[in-house]
Amino acid sequence: MAPDPNSSALAFFGSELRRLREMAGMTQADVAQGTQFALATVSAYETGKRIPSPEFAEGADKLFGTDGYLARLQGLVDTLSVLPWFRNRVEVERNAAEIREYESYQVPGLLQTEDYMRAVIAAGRPMLAKDAIERAVALRMTRQQILEPDAELPIDQEQTPRLWVIMDEAALNRIVGSAETMQKQRQHLVDMAHLPNVTIQVISNNDGVTCAYGRAFTILTSSANGSAVVYLEDVGSARYVRDRDEVAQYVLTFDHLRACALNDSRSLEIIKG
């Protein structure tokens, strides 16, 4: 069911996309073909489950002959859907050649299922309104599209970064949402680990403390110039480390974590439970 178009800018974009498509006498499949985006992506844009990309909005405007209307609306949606301190993370992530992430408390956002992420987001305090939770879920689902070759970019511009995740076994043992949610989350991790551009390693609880002491961090390497930035998230804010020497320290820490973690096959055994 499509959300109330008056509930958010994201929902309004979806309703306008559907209105324009129906006025043009097109199906979602027609729009997918005309914009060179996946059918599932077009459907997600109409239902407000994904934040539309600028490339899609521009392609849809061209298809419908709407003189940049959706592109202008997309800019508003993007501004209202992404917190200012998180915007840089999203932009760097979209253009990354490699993402290295360590997480001790929960499954990293790029690998979360929809039910798992909704439970994680809903746990935030102060309590979020339902529409705010759904916007946050849409953003996280949108971020995940960088790992899907045909989802975020037009077919002739596919770019999938290399994702290397190291996570503590404790994150897998924490029940988020429900036992069923965790079972589906574990299976999703197994499925993602079989992708050629995704590596997931687990640090066993039996190995005790590690050199990161449970402090999560992400290293994002640009596809344009190979420079790296470290993303550190706090409650309601984030810090971006760009100093070359400081970044090098995080790279070294990640390498040590990688050496301490179980190999791929043993990690999969832990993930399966």
pLDDT of residue 1: 59
Using CA of residue 23, residue 26, residue 29, residue 31, what is the dihedral sign? negative
The residue type of 271 is I
Work out the average pLDDT over 235-258: 94
pLDDT of residue 2: 66
User: Over 50: is that where the pLDDT of 218 sits?
Assistant: yes
Distance in angstroms (rounded) separating the CA atoms of residues 172 and 270:
9
pTM for this one? 0.81
CB atoms within 10 A of CB 107: 25
Work out the average pLDDT over 101-123: 95
Angle between helices 9-23 and 39-46 (to 10 degrees): 120
Percent of the chain clearing pLDDT 90 (strictly above): 69
Higher pLDDT, 145 or 46: 46
Structure tokens at 221: 């390497």
pLDDT of residue 105: 94
Residue 29 burial by Cβ neighbours in a 10 Å radius (0-12, 13-18, 19+): exposed
Q: Measuring CA to CA, which residue among 195, 212, 225 is closest to residue 251? A: 212
User: Over 80: is that where the pLDDT of 66 sits?
Assistant: yes
What b/e string do you get for 147-158 counting C-beta neighbours within 10 Å, with b at 16 or more? beebbbbeeeee
Q: What pLDDT digit, counting tens, does each position of 7-61 carry? A: 788 999 999 999 999 999 999 999 999 999 999 999 999 999 899 999 999 999 9
- Map tokens 């991790």 to a residue: 189
Percent of the chain clearing pLDDT 70 (strictly above): 95
pLDDT of residue 152: 43
Using CA of residue 242, residue 246, residue 252, residue 255, what is the dihedral sign? negative
pLDDT of residue 86: 87
**Preceding peptide of 52 cis, ω within 30°:** no
- Mean pLDDT for all residues in the chain: 90
User: Over 60: is that where the pLDDT of 182 sits?
Assistant: yes
Using DSSP's 3-state secondary structure scheme, residue 238 falls into strand
pLDDT of residue 234: 86
Phi, psi angles (nearest 5°) of residue 201: -120, 145
Using DSSP's 3-state secondary structure scheme, residue 166 falls into strand
User: Over 80: is that where the pLDDT of 127 sits?
Assistant: no
DSSP string for 9-20: HHHHHHHHHHHH
pLDDT of residue 155: 41
Distances (CA, A) of 74 to 66, 82, 246: 13, 12, 36
Top mean-pLDDT range of 121-135, 157-171, 173-187: 173-187
Distance in angstroms (rounded) separating the CA atoms of residues 111 and 179:
18
Work out the average pLDDT over 116-139: 85
Q: What pLDDT digit, counting tens, does each position of 69-82 carry? A: 999 999 999 888 88
User: Over 50: is that where the pLDDT of 154 sits?
Assistant: no
Domains (ranges, CATH) in the chain? 9-81 (1.10.260.40), 84-272 (3.30.870)
Distance in angstroms (rounded) separating the CA atoms of residues 122 and 172:
19
